Amino acid sequence: MPPRSESRIRWLTREEADRLLSGCGTPHIRLFVELGLNTAARSGAILALTWDRVDLNARTIDFRPDGHVQSWKRKTAVPINDRLLSALTKAYLITHEPQPI
C-alpha cells in the first residue's frame, strides 16, 4: 500500500464565506449554504431537513429524522447562531405566509 497522504485541513475565512454567500443566485441555495456553513452538517442531512425539526424558539436544529438508527455519521441536534437564526426566520416567513381568504 502507498503511504497515506498528509491531510489538508483548511477553513474558510469570513471573507470567503461572505463571497460564497453573495454568489448564491437563489434564496434556497443561499439557505443551503448558510445551513452548511453554520452547522457543518452534511449535504444529505440538510436536504432531508424539515421544519418540524427546526425549533426557532429553542434555537436548535435536530438533524435526526424520526426512527433514524444512529450510524457513525452521527446526525445530531445543533444550536442555531444569530446569523443562521436570521436566515431561517426569513425562510420560515416566506414559506409559511398566511393565505388570503
User: pLDDT per residue over 9-29, tens digit each?
Assistant: 888 999 999 999 999 999 999
The pLDDT tens digits for 47-77 are 999 999 999 999 999 998 776 666 665 667 8
Domains of the chain: 14-95 (1.10.443.10)
pLDDT the model gives residue 90:
94
Q: Which residues contact 37 (CB under 8 A, 6 or more apart)?
A: 12, 17, 20, 21
> Based on the number of CB atoms within 10 Å of its own CB, is 57 exposed (0-12), middle (13-18) or buried (19 or more)?
exposed
Model's pTM, two decimal places? 0.80
**Which has the higher per-residue pLDDT, 80 or 100?**
80
Task: Please give the share of the chain, as a percent, with pLDDT higher than 90.
Answer: 66
pLDDT the model gives residue 70:
61
